[in-house]
């Protein structure tokens, strides 16, 4: 990882503030940057001869303007000299980088196009502080910034923070495909690449599927490193199974695959993962995920840059990464497939909602009220669960698009939950939606699905990537072929009616594309659940999980922390236990927040 400062600085102070254990360091005119050892070893540094500048990269560049893989700062410097900041558009990889040009006294920061790499920055006086880790950047000069109240409210509302501001006040996250140029005390942030959803030339489904298959193959091959031991997280769904098939085809022999199992009706998909592993002769490991593993959340919280939660899936990633540690160097995943091919249930919900929008609210409101009153089911998504969730989410603003199906509090409910002293002058109103609405409006299109997919690349994809970052803590680098920029550009040109032709025929074109790669029972299965953790049931029925929840969310703990009102949390727990509603997302988010704050050394009030 790296960190640095540029502006009105004294070198001695900057060197002491950044770190005492440097792998590389560089000191320039009003600039200092250091690189510490990265657990996964993927980083490089190059100082320009004559002390004219330097290049520092965390991550891996799979292709640099057609030159193939690049781990040379010299090559990047030459590209920078030739094309200026335009060289960033030529890079395909998962990285964050710094280029210091002493000739112009400028500092260039950038993140990769899809956001796999992380980069934070903070203005302090005339200085710009930056780094690839949040806590390091926040406390770079010995400061301890206050918590960002609005960012915490957004986290609770969405289970992650979709905005550019972080959980620490005054510390920001550079967006994917953006650069920051710092010169003369001023920061200029620019987008250097964008994903456009403009339909390409009309092609048949067969031709389109063949092009997708070719693009996906290239994306996988681009990431195969013969010198590294490859593995894959395998759920048994289309995306991860296709990746395993193409890894096998690309010569990744002796591959290890990993899946987890939660026992219980409608939650165990491990037989499909086993079927794929057998088909491609992988060394498959099945990790049992029982209620006791939920307690790992306390350790796992320390691995997070910022709090985020996805109802126990983050614990599953922790378990799989721990199982793979020492056996593989790189882990391939199918993350990004939902955005390529419109596979997430929110896209079908949004399409269904557009039909209901024609029904007058006086007629529709009683039906939605009855839907919200349904008792929660023990299953993940039977008809009762779908109707209840749809009825609860339909009330959120249409302008949110598919994001309204991922909202966990109405602003009025959030206002009751949060302690007035913590709120201060912060108002938990519709302004919390502004980031999402802004992303929706960035793309100029009349196609609702295209708008949703674009917006999810800015938001939900970043959420998934941060979950996979936990693998890095075990010395493993995640690989995301389905987040390859060239593949994303190809699929963005595919018409929406090929991705989701009806209400429920998700990933239509992907099924045609990968049919030659996978067993029929994997391609045409109708019961795909996605990642499935019966956390809502464990919170109701399992003593280990219940005791853990009661301990983390105990009244004295919440009172001392001063963020939420204990009596409101007790109401959430009571409604969940009575099956009035599924509050597992809300309760888990509160637990992760408390655990994360402890790990960061944030003292209660």
H or E element: which one contains 119? none
CA 294 from centroid of its chain's CA atoms: 21
Question: d(Cα 319, Cα 259) in Å, to the nearest integer?
Answer: 10
For 254-269, b/e burial (b = at least 16 CB within 10 A) is: ebbbbbbbbeeebbeb
Q: Is the sign of the CA dihedral 271, 261, 484, 406 positive or negative? A: positive
pLDDT of residue 198: 85
Question: Which ranges in the chain are annotated with CATH 3.40.50.620?
Answer: 205-342+456-523
pLDDT of residue 14: 47
Question: What is the token pair recorded at 154?
Answer: 């957004």
pLDDT of residue 5: 83
* Strands across the sheet containing 283-288: 283-288, 256-261, 230-233, 330-332, 477-479
CA 130 from centroid of its chain's CA atoms: 21
Question: What is the token pair recorded at 273?
Answer: 């993962």
Question: Which ranges in the chain are annotated with CATH 3.60.20.10?
Answer: 2-191
pLDDT of residue 17: 52
> Could you tell me if 290 and 319 are in contact, meaning their C-beta atoms sit under 8 angstroms apart?
no
User: What is the assigned CATH class of domain 2-191?
Assistant: alpha beta
Question: What is the token pair recorded at 144?
Answer: 């301890």
Torsion (CA) 361, 367, 372, 377 in degrees, nearest 10: -150
**φ, ψ for residue 80 (rounded to 5)?**
-65, -45
Question: What is the token pair recorded at 30?
Answer: 């009003």
What DSSP letter does each residue of 79-104 carry, written as one string? HHHHHGGGGGGGEEEEEEEEEEETTT
> Could you tell me if 273 and 259 are in contact, meaning their C-beta atoms sit under 8 angstroms apart?
yes
What DSSP letter does each residue of 420-445 carry, written as one string? HHHHTT---SGGGGHHHHHHHHHS--
pLDDT of residue 33: 83
pLDDT of residue 18: 54
> Could you tell me if 190 and 446 are in contact, meaning their C-beta atoms sit under 8 angstroms apart?
no
Cβ atoms within 10 Å of 578's Cβ, excluding its own: 11
Q: Which residues of the chain have pLDDT under 70?
A: 9-23, 37-41, 264-267, 527-531, 604-605
What DSSP letter does each residue of 179-193 carry, written as one string? EEEEETTEEEEEE--
Nearest to 405 by CA among 354, 443, 369: 354
The CATH number for 205-342+456-523, chosen from 3.40.50.620, 2.130.10.10, 3.10.20.30, 3.40.640.10, is: 3.40.50.620
Question: d(Cα 208, Cα 252) in Å, to the nearest integer?
Answer: 27
Question: d(Cα 158, Cα 171) in Å, to the nearest integer?
Answer: 20
Question: d(Cα 301, Cα 497) in Å, to the nearest integer?
Answer: 41
């Amino acid at each position: 990882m790296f960190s640095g400062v540029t502006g009105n600085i004294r070198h001695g102070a900057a060197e002491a503030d950044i770190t005492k254990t440097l792998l590389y360091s560089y000191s320039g005119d009003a600039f200092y940057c250091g690189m510490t050892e990265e657990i996964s070893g993927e980083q490089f540094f190059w100082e320009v001869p004559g002390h004219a500048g330097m290049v520092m990269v965390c991550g891996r560049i799979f292709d640099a303007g057609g030159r193939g893989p690049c781990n040379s700062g010299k090559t990047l410097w030459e590209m920078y000299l030739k094309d200026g900041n335009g060289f960033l558009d030529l890079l395909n990889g998962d990285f964050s980088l710094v280029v210091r040009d002493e000739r112009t006294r400028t500092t260039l920061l950038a993140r990769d196009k899809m956001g796999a790499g992380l980069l934070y920055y903070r203005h302090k006086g005339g200085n710009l502080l930056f780094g690839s880790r949040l806590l390091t950047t926040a406390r770079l000069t010995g400061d301890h910034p206050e918590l960002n109240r609005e960012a915490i409210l957004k986290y609770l509302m969405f289970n992650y923070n979709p905005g550019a501001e972080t959980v620490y006040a005054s510390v920001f996250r550079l967006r994917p495909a953006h650069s920051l140029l710092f010169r003369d005390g001023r920061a200029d942030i620019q987008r250097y690449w964008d994903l456009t959803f403009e339909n390409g030339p009309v092609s048949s489904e067969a031709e389109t599927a063949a092009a997708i298959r070719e693009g996906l193959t290239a994306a996988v091959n681009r990431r195969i490193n013969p010198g590294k031991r490859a593995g894959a997280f395998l759920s048994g769904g289309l995306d991860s199974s296709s990746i395993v098939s193409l890894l096998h085809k690309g010569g990744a022999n002796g591959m290890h695959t990993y899946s987890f199992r939660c026992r219980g009706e409608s939650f165990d998909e491990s037989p499909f993962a086993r079927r794929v592993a057998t088909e491609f002769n992988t060394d498959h490991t099945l990790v049992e995920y029982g209620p006791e593993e939920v307690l790992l959340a306390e350790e796992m919280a320390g691995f997070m840059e910022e709090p985020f939660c996805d109802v126990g899936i983050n614990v599953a990633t922790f378990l799989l990464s721990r199982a793979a540690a020492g056996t593989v160097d790189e882990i391939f995943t199918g993350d990004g497939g939902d955005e390529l091919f419109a596979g997430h249930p929110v896209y079908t919900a949004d399409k269904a909602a557009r039909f209901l929008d024609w029904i007058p609210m006086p007629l529709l409101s009683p039906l939605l009220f009855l839907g919200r009153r349904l008792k929660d089911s023990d299953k993940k998504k039977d008809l009762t669960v779908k109707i209840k969730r749809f009825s609860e989410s339909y009330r959120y603003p249409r302008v949110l698009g598919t994001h309204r199906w991922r909202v966990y509090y109405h602003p009025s409910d959030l206002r009751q939950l949060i302690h007035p002293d913590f709120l201060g002058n912060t108002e938990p109103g519709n302004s919390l939606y502004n980031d999402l609405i802004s992303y929706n409006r960035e793309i100029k299109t009349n196609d609702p699905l295209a708008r949703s997919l674009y917006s999810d690349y800015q938001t939900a994809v970043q959420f998934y990537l941060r979950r996979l970052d936990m693998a890095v803590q075990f010395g493993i680098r995640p690989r995301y072929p389905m987040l390859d920029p060239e593949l994303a550009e190809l699929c963005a040109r595919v018409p929406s009616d090929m991705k989701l032709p009806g209400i429920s025929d998700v990933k239509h074109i992907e099924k045609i594309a990968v049919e030659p790669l996978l067993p029929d029972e994997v391609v045409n299965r109708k019961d795909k659940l996605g990642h499935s953790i019966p956390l809502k049931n464990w919170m109701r029925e399992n003593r280990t999980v219940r005791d853990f929840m009661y301990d983390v969310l105990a009244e004295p703990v919440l009172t001392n922390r001063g963020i939420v009102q204990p009596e409101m949390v007790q109401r959430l727990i009571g409604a969940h236990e009575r099956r009035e509603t599924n509050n597992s997302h809300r309760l888990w988010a509160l637990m992760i927040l408390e655990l994360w704050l402890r790990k960061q050394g944030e003292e209660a009030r």
